[in-house]
Amino acid sequence: MAESTLVLVTRAPYGLEDAFAGLRMALAMSVNGMTTSVVLIEDGVYNGLGSQKPEAVRMPSNAEATKELYDFDVPVYVVKEDLASRGIEESRLFEGLKVIPASEVKKLVSEHELVTTF
Amino acid sequence: MKTAFILIKSPSEQDPTHMMERLGSKEDSSVILFEDAVYHSVTPAHSVRLDSVATEVLIAKDDLEARGFTTADIKVGKAVGYDEIVDCIMERTERTVNV
Amino acid sequence: MMAMDANIAVKLAGAARAKGYKVNMFGYGEGVTAVKKGQNPKRFPSVGNDLEAAGKNGVTQAICETCFAARGFERGEEIPSAKVGSLTNDLFKFLSESDRLVTIAR
């Protein structure tokens, strides 16, 4: 009987619904009291940019969907190497995200009973 | 922490081994190939790469055969039925991760 | 384009049931189309029919209503074995009572 879920967000925002779907799933688990964590990894790190303007493509904001998780104490991690390889400075991320080295993702996987990828 | 990685995409579409290395270790990783991911097991370069990140490679036999390959073509892993895949997920590993 | 991903999920569910495991399936995003009633793929396997058979075999099924509505489907358009539900209620319940989560998605 699972008590914890890790959501890996691997896709960039707005071209596909996947990243948003992953964030909403994390919200649904956390509001019910399940221990939930999110990792923005690979192209998923693009969801962390503070300067997103989703209204330009009439989409819901992945940044806001991420920040809603903070109300339920869901940690949202961003992989440092994936930011660097895409040339994104950490200063461009919105507040509350936790930048971690890729080596820590393995530990997060082991700390959660269920893992899903979006 | 034993992990079963689930692959469904062709190796030409995505190299999953980078993520597998990040999320697990070879000694604790199994990988299950469905649909176009079965091509990982029959192409020289991809099979070597997959073998470097997992100790167990299971190939959905029906997906392999549907694509014109047989067990004789396999360079890494073994072709199995779904019952064997369920055993891998439920008994031999502790969690699954789709990559 | 029609993907075979849902067919894989149904086959895996059937194999797990055959071994005596309890199986829940949840359709999310594009996955909700698998439960649309009246699918007629002609020469391709009908995942709707396979899901109905799985339901009779004890596989519990639910989908995300928001995703269903986003694709123009309404309650009542789902196959009888599937419940039009939600992440908050159904997926949470499924996950909280599960030992394994298998995600079949691209």
| Interacting residues of C54 by C-beta distance below 8 A, sequence separation 6+ | C10, C13, C14, C17, C23, C25, C61, C81
Q: Do B97 and A41 touch (CB under 8 A)?
A: no
Q: Is the pLDDT confidence value at C2 over 80?
A: no
Nearest by CB: C91 against A17, A28, A117: A28
Whole-angstrom distance, CA of residue C88 vs CA of residue A65: 15
List the domains of chain C with CATH numbers. 5-96 (3.40.1260.10)
Which pLDDT belongs to residue A114? 98
Domain count, chain A: 1
Which CATH number belongs to the domain containing residue A64 in this structure?
3.40.1260.10
Closest chain A CA to residue C96: A2
CB B70 within 8 A of CB B42: no
What's the whole-number mean pLDDT along residues A79-106? 98
Tens-digit pLDDT profile for residues B27-71:
999 999 999 999 999 999 999 999 999 999 999 999 999 999 999
pTM of the complete model: 0.95
A115 contacts on B by Cβ (under 8 Å): 23, 95-97
Q: Which two tokens mark A61?
A: 């904001």
Q: Which H/E stretch holds residue B20?
A: helix B17-23
Which pLDDT belongs to residue C101? 98
Nearest to B51 by CA among B41, B60, B66, B59: B41
Whole-angstrom distance, CA of residue C64 vs CA of residue C84: 6
Whole-angstrom distance, CA of residue A79 vs CA of residue B22: 11
Nearest to C64 by CA among C106, C92, C17, C29: C29
Cα distances from C24 to residues A3, B78, B81, in angstroms, run 17, 28, 21
Tens-digit pLDDT profile for residues A28-70:
999 999 999 999 999 999 999 999 999 999 999 999 999 999 9
pLDDT band at C13 (very low <50, low <70, confident <90, very high): very high
Which pLDDT belongs to residue A1? 86
Q: Is the pLDDT confidence value at A94 over 90?
A: yes
pLDDT band at B15 (very low <50, low <70, confident <90, very high): very high
List the domains of chain B with CATH numbers. 3-98 (3.40.1260.10)
Q: Which domain holds residue A20?
A: 4-117
pLDDT band at B83 (very low <50, low <70, confident <90, very high): very high
A113 contacts on B by Cβ (under 8 Å): 95
Closest chain A CA to residue C98: A1
Q: Do B90 and C100 touch (CB under 8 A)?
A: yes
Phi-psi region of A52 (alpha: psi -120 to 50; beta: other; left: phi over 0): beta
Which pLDDT belongs to residue C3? 83
Phi, psi of C82 (to 5 degrees): -105, 145
Whole-angstrom distance, CA of residue A111 vs CA of residue A107: 6
Q: Which H/E stretch holds residue A1?
A: none
pLDDT band at A71 (very low <50, low <70, confident <90, very high): very high
Q: Do A115 and B24 touch (CB under 8 A)?
A: no
A5 three-class SS: strand
Whole-angstrom distance, CA of residue B36 vs CA of residue B54: 18
Whole-angstrom distance, CA of residue A45 vs CA of residue A81: 10
Q: Is the pLDDT confidence value at C49 over 80?
A: yes
Q: Which two tokens mark A65?
A: 């969907």
CB C35 within 8 A of CB C82: yes
Tens-digit pLDDT profile for residues C19-33:
999 999 999 999 999
CB A40 within 8 A of CB A52: no
Tens-digit pLDDT profile for residues C55-93:
999 999 999 999 999 999 999 999 999 999 999 999 999
